[in-house]
Amino acid sequence: MTRAQAIVFEAPQRLSVQTLELKPFEANDLEVQVGFSGVSTGTERLLWDGTMPPFPGLGYPLVPGYETVGTVVRIADSSGGGVADSAGTPAAGSAPIALADQVFVPGSYSFQSVRNIFGGAGSRLIVPHDRVVRVAPELGPKAVLLALAATSYHTISLGGGREPMIAPDLIVGHGVMGRLLARITLALGLPAPTVWETQAARREGAIGYVVLDPKDDTRRDYRAIYDVSGDTSILNRLIACLAPGGEVVLAGFYKSDLSFAFAPAFMREAQIRVAAQWKKHDLLAVTTLVESGALSLEGLITHTFHPGKAREAYEIAFGDVQCLKMMIDWRV
């Protein structure tokens, strides 16, 4: 029987660190010793405060987390990965995972007797071989950002299935997601977007694009507005800033229904698109962008806590405007 520590939300705003039994190790599984996991200020905030909309598998107690990086310490014989160390650092997805590889894990179903939503905030994880992505060791803890980067990439590259891609010329929100959207836009060789941010403390840190207080922006001809504010009341304001035929992309996570006034949207023939979960190819694409140097993840992780201070970590992550990204350090 294998056990590991995990962060458990026992109920809304009730947290503990518990030693839990891991699921049985099966063919095609990997065991990952976790180095770091990230705290999501979108979905995890809603799980923390109990405002998550109906969601498959939702319930308490649960283990959150889908931003985990660690080291492969065991591989099932039938996984194709063998037991020898890998030579060099192959491109993401180009070779079987090997022992001692550094990998990104987007959540797991590792823990028994609790719900795994999303099951990544633990000291050890057991996951299928094809769920992880190898990352360069030198990326280190910054690899926890790959899920958000993949979400951002998916939001832009999906483009509603149209060509040419309609990239954001306005991004609403300059948290981690907004910064990644802006950086990925530039990394793809697309024009620099404008970013809105209401919090003065978060207007710093732009590289190659402009961040404005929304009240200082008089432009009303944006072709594509990407909202990552999570503000359920914002649609009317954004529609008023669209060019005819423009698009609002809902790239955040919203805890209640959104609505909008029909007449202004009708006059502009506004389009509204919801960006869903990233896919494996998005994760591979951003990993390649990062490892090539085209996309920087520098300056986004602002706080790091050990599991013993998990409650304080979550409260800061969700309540301190200075905290862009909170990371949990699982190393002994």
pTM for this one? 0.89
For residues 22 and 79, which has the higher predicted lDDT (pLDDT)? 22
Of 38-42, 54-58, 139-143, 279-283, the one with minimum mean pLDDT is 54-58
Confidence grade of residue 87 (pLDDT, cut at 50, 70, 90): very low
- Name the residue among 290, 275, 287, 295 with its Cα closest to residue 189: 295
Q: What pLDDT is attached to residue 165? A: 63
Q: What pLDDT is attached to residue 237? A: 97
Chain segment 180-232, per-residue pLDDT in tens: 999 999 999 999 999 999 999 999 999 999 999 999 999 999 999 999 999 99
* pLDDT at residue 93 greater than cutoff 80: no
Q: What pLDDT is attached to residue 94? A: 56
Of 120-124, 140-144, 160-164, 300-304, the one with minimum mean pLDDT is 160-164
Choices 2.60.40.420, 3.30.70.260, 3.40.50.720, 3.30.930.10: CATH for 148-274: 3.40.50.720
For CATH 3.90.180.10, the residue range(s) in the chain are: 3-135+302-329
* pLDDT at residue 86 greater than cutoff 70: no
For CATH 3.40.50.720, the residue range(s) in the chain are: 148-274
Q: What is the mean pLDDT of the segment spanning 155-165?
A: 62
For residues 328 and 83, which has the higher predicted lDDT (pLDDT)? 328
* pLDDT at residue 21 greater than cutoff 80: yes
Q: What is the CATH number of domain 3-135+302-329?
A: 3.90.180.10
Query: What percent of the chain has a predicted confidence (pLDDT) above 70?
Result: 92
